[in-house]
Amino acid sequence: MLLLDAAVSGTPVSHEVELSLWDLCLKGGPLMIVLAVLSLISIYIFIERAIVINRANREDATFMKRIRDYIHEGEIESAFNLCKKNGSPYSRLIAKGISRIGRPVNDILAAVENTGNIEIANLSKGLPWLATTAAGAPMLGFLGTVIGMVQAFYAIAAEGNSANIATFSSGIYTALVTTVAGLVVGVIALFGYNYLVARINSVMNMLESKSMEFMDLLNEPAN
């Protein structure tokens, strides 16, 4: 009845237009595929690296005490086997130091530090991709914005005086949707990158602590 009254009185009837997220993504054009691929790869790298780094950050509270006891008792082979059994980055670092026992202290320290650098480099795999995505995704979004605006103004010029909002709406969709998508992907990659860097720094501090503790126990007198 209300619609009939509106039609009789000449009052315009509003029609609610629903636009799903999928339809909105399709409006963004081909660049949305690139951004989607970047986001999927970044999410995979983040999850995979987070699992690896969290495992590396686990610490056995009794490990160094057992290493100290083995070394003071002269059971070098048992200490080395304990490191292999532990399988953590700091255990591989200590194992390298144990394998150099008998050489000058500076040689042992250099071997331990080199092993620590290798462990940190292994944990950092994939992080350059996250950093690149964090910087590049917004730029791709802005590129989509420029392309969309060019399409919009080209459509206006082609239509001339008959141009209306429908003429360049698709270009505006491309401009706005790609910008939003690029910023979303970039922000997610940036937060993921910073989180992983913070976790790696925590592992690095633990490796430095373990290496100094190992060097100190080499200079301790046996009981």
- Where the chain has pLDDT below 70, the residues are 1-29, 155-156, 158-171, 173-174, 220-223
Contact, 143 vs 181, CB < 8 A?
no
In whole angstroms, give the CA distance from residue 138 to residue 133.
8
Contact, 152 vs 172, CB < 8 A?
yes
Phi-psi bin for 162: left (phi > 0), alpha (psi -120 to 50), beta?
alpha
Length of the chain: 223
In whole angstroms, give the CA distance from residue 144 to residue 173.
10
Amino acid present at 4: L
Structure-token match 């070394």, residue found:
71
pLDDT at residue 14, rounded to an integer: 46
Which residue, among 83, 70, 68, has the nearest Cα to 219 in the 3D structure?
68
pLDDT at residue 30, rounded to an integer: 76
Residue spans of alpha helices (H) in the chain: 2-9, 21-27, 31-56, 63-72, 76-86, 89-99, 105-123, 127-159, 165-218
Phi-psi bin for 136: left (phi > 0), alpha (psi -120 to 50), beta?
alpha
pLDDT at residue 120, rounded to an integer: 93
Q: What's the whole-model pTM score?
A: 0.78
pLDDT at residue 174, rounded to an integer: 66
pLDDT at residue 50, rounded to an integer: 95
